[in-house]
Structure 1
């Protein structure tokens, strides 16, 4: 395995590479291609190539598919499980027919059911990092954390995380059992966790930050110059960030980022990943293609000076309106 910079994720002992691999786009969700068509053989080749380069931190969830994504990851890691750090998530309720019910469930009985199903799908006896995908607002976070603490004691889960939660929830959860990581959307185009002070809470409590969509759902790659550039049923077409006038404004900001990347001799994607790492996060850019995983891993070696960081952040200063990151229903699920 090649050398890649390793970092401590949080203060509980988990060591991961400086960049992870988001696996969501490798399968459909509820029969829809989220980020264009996926190909299983290419997806598995991408996971294997990532490992060859030292990128062994894989991020999946039972929601993706539902369940198909964990099964694909299980297939890719078979016979080589101990080489990988696997993160998965629970919370979007899935019934016995493997269908989403539309509810979020953090009750003890459901968490136990979800973890057993995920272990089976992944073909493993333990999950390295297990997140609650979204807060169940009808179940106290303390109850959910109690069962997660039990799963750690039983060896089924090694480390515990939460996703898209407020500082208040993070504090309540941490009082029950230490959190290793909080996962949230974080990129040059999405910095609300800085505005709400969540990053300060994480620093104070020694909790790691895992940044999903560090490339603004691919927007920062510069491949999408008009809405029609997104594949036909791609869910990005429904996101406020990439609609109408807001899309045009964001394209102008992207142009300045692309100019800066050109001067540095790197791609805008690599610049965006390097920025996220410099901000203390572990980004998990999603891809299902070998060439992109290679480019993303190269970005871990890019150093940005303070002047470069300041210049980047002056393009999109904190408080810049770049559009909501989900539709109204998706925004409501965020704590």
Structure 2
């Protein structure tokens, strides 16, 4: 991705009313609202096209043309996260059929990386992805994750389990749900504190030899666990939370990935919708919405963190792009081997996110934006305490 940010609006064929959104004063977005998915509050856009739950149309939408490498795996510069599609994370979605349409639209617009997991739903996200991509399987990269006990009949989720025999059983179920004979990128969802990572890597290596898996990675692992895993079976990607409100990977994980030649996939790249500019301290989430338990989303902390949204809106006015597009472009500008996977349960949001491809940083603009971001103190942890405790874990020694 070129790092020059041009003011030539003819290059931005898809803005979805972005200038209107970005130009809206911050205080105008503080009216009370509810959120039932990634971002509501005027559908993240002032455009009249922001209509139906699965719909909304855009004229001359951007098609992703650039590619990036995660290790030896080539993917589109932006992926699609499918965790929210079963409607279990942020609240109900419009329909299963709409989610399949969104995935197929993403393919049409040049997206090749689709991210899911056994526990998303549980199981249902994999089924949606499998049905949506079956006809174009050879054109796309499917990433999924193992690492928890999930009842294959009821979907009931249990505790962490990365025992080798369980990994192999999980993969067989994944292949069936995904309607494929191989998984392009298989992650350990969380480090199992009772299983040496050498055993995990060995099991995955056997799956690769058998042709059921092609590449593998880790999500939210400890630093030494990355090194140990990579020594047994080279890692293709690390998937950690990374966004404008959660920048922990910059300190040690990104330098380690660069040293070892491992790609990096930020999950929640839009801060659960916060950096789209559609959520504020007066937002009321639906019952069961994951964000109600995230410390950064308490009213007090959101009030403090609105400084980040104001920064995005100011730059959005300056550049004629949306806060979401700017958020994604900033992540992509950090390293050429970073591939964000924003979720979307509305076509309009998907197309807006893809429009980040045409947001580029010129001259000293990246440094200027980052300096302003560094001056903002982020309030609150990125995850609930019990979830955060499962990140950065080091696997036991053999």
Instruction: Give the TM-score, by structure 2 length.
Output: 0.79
Q: Report whether the alignment pairs 1:324 with 2:381.
A: yes
Contact 1:191 1:318 in 2 (8 A): no
> Relative contact order: is structure 1 or structure 2 higher (C-alpha 8 Å, sep ≥ 6)?
2
Contact 1:20 1:58 in 2 (8 A): yes
Q: Structure 2 vs 1, CA of residues 129 and 270 (structure 1 numbering), >3 Å: closer, same or farther?
A: same
* Unmatched tracts of structure 1, length 5 or more: none
Once superposed, which parts of structure 1, at least 4 consecutive aligned residues long, lie more than 6 Å away? none
- Report 1:42-57 matches (<5 A): 42-57=98-113
SS in 2 for 1:283: coil
Q: Structure 2 vs 1, CA of residues 171 and 319 (structure 1 numbering), >3 Å: closer, same or farther?
A: farther
Q: Give, in whole Å, the separation in 2 of the partners of 1:301 and 1:123.
A: 34
Q: Give, in whole Å, the separation in 1 of the partners of 2:181 and 2:145.
A: 16
Contact 2:86 2:121 in 1 (8 A): yes
Q: Report whether the alignment pairs 1:213 with 2:213.
A: no
- Report 1:146-295 matches (<5 A): 146-195=202-251, 197-280=252-335, 281-295=338-352
Q: Give, in whole Å, the separation in 1 of the partners of 2:146 and 2:362.
A: 38
Alpha-carbon RMSD: 1.7
Range moving further from structure 2, 91-100 or 114-123: 91-100
Q: Give, in whole Å, the separation in 1 of the partners of 2:208 and 2:376.
A: 39
**Matched residues, number:** 328
Q: Report whether the alignment pairs 1:6 with 2:62.
A: no
Residue 226 of structure 1: how far off its partner (Å) = 2.4
SS in 2 for 1:144: helix
Within the candidate set 297, 307, 332, 2:364 is matched to 307
Residue 80 of structure 1: how far off its partner (Å) = 2.0
Q: Give, in whole Å, the separation in 1 of the partners of 2:236 and 2:317.
A: 36
Q: Report whether the alignment pairs 1:114 with 2:114.
A: no
Range moving further from structure 2, 165-174 or 225-234: 225-234
Range moving further from structure 2, 81-90 or 223-232: 223-232
Report the counterpart of residue 142 of structure 1 in structure 2: 198
Which one has the largest radius of gyration? 2
Instruction: Give the TM-score, by structure 1 length.
Output: 0.94
Range moving further from structure 2, 317-326 or 207-216: 317-326
